Amino acid sequence: MTAVDRTGAPARGAPLRIAVAPRWRRAIGPLVKYALLSLGALLMILPFADMFIGALRSPADVFASPPRYWPQDPQWGVYARVFRELPMTTWFANSIIVTVTITAAQVATSTMAGYALAKYEFGGRAAIFRLVVGAQMFPFFLFIIPIFFILRFAPLMGGNDIAGQGGSGLLGTYAALCLPFVVTWYGVFLMRQFFVSIPDDLLEAARLDGAGEYRIFRSIMLPLVKPAIATLTLFSFVYHWNEFIWTMTVTRAAPELQTLPVGIYLLQGAFEDLDQKALQQAALAVSILPVIVVFLCLQRLFVASEFSSGVK
């Protein structure tokens, strides 16, 4: 026991002893933390696992009593049948072309517009920023009809004359799938907020060293906002890989341009028996693999973006 004086403080010269919690108490905190994280990860993985495993179930496994989670006779060939009996190659190619094109265009336009709004002084900058913020309140489906008619009556496109009559315009082309999404208000706002957090002194120092505006943007600014670019890339890729309403509207008259979500959705009316339902479920499982790959590739930068957004 440590000696104390009348005031209750340790006596001069008495050794100080720091209370140390028992080893089991120090170990229980990390154990609880990792147990909760493992439970959360399991709950997140379980729906995906059920989707992959559900495609392997035969009709006997579906109606088994008691229910079987893992099929007694897994139908591994269902994943080969997906590519043999369905136009998965065409759907995959269309999805990749459309999603990659839109994602690249949104990253390019958002970084340039966000940089201009954050680091340049020009007339109307505040009004444009208010427009960017306000435009995010309106969902895309409100503009489907006007955008459809703009593409349908595009002059000198798809057989149209100068007045936009006589043909189909841009409908039935990849341009109709991509052009409405070239600019994203959310992307402009996101990149602008990240560029604002970068000190203006870096730009001034680069200009004093003789760097041009394009060199400053490409060599100094873009590397500093890599986490934000990764975040925008991930959000854009996931959203447009799964985009359904606009693609369904445009590809009604052009089935050869159907993407994975539209193609798999249209199978619902054609396939009714359990065997074909398993085929559809296998197609769904295959369709999410690119999204998982993109997320794993950008995970480190995405986490860095989430962390830096809360740190001044």
At 198, which CATH number? 1.10.3720.10
Tokens standing for 245? Answer: 């309403």
Low-confidence ranges of the chain (pLDDT < 50): 270-271, 307, 310-312
Q: What per-residue confidence (pLDDT) applies to 175?
A: 92
How far apart, in Å, are the Cα atoms of 7 and each of 4, 13, 59, 63? 8, 15, 81, 78
Is 60 within the bounds of a domain?
A: no
Which residue range is the domain that position 243 belongs to? 85-308
Is 51 within the bounds of a domain?
A: no
Q: What per-residue confidence (pLDDT) applies to 307?
A: 47
Residue 245 gets the label, from left (phi > 0), alpha (psi -120 to 50) or beta, of: alpha
Contacts for 121-124: CB closer than 8 Å, 24+ residues apart: none
CA-CA distance, 34 to 158, in Å (whole number)? 59
pLDDT in tens, 12-52: 655 555 555 566 666 787 888 888 989 988 888 888 888 88
Is 1 within the bounds of a domain?
A: no
Q: What per-residue confidence (pLDDT) applies to 107?
A: 95
Is 99 within the bounds of a domain?
A: yes
DSSP track, 59-85: HHHHT-SS--SS-SS--TTHHHHHHHH
Q: What per-residue confidence (pLDDT) applies to 311?
A: 42
Is 273 within the bounds of a domain?
A: yes
Q: What per-residue confidence (pLDDT) applies to 2?
A: 53
Q: What per-residue confidence (pLDDT) applies to 166?
A: 85
Q: What per-residue confidence (pLDDT) applies to 267?
A: 79
- Name the phi and psi angles at 281, rounded to 5: -65, -35
Is 174 within the bounds of a domain?
A: yes
Q: What per-residue confidence (pLDDT) applies to 269?
A: 60
Is 75 within the bounds of a domain?
A: no
For the chain, the domain total comes to 1
Nearest to 242 by CA among 295, 192, 186, 279: 295
pTM listed for this prediction = 0.82
How far apart, in Å, are the Cα atoms of 62 and each of 82, 157, 240, 271? 20, 52, 33, 17
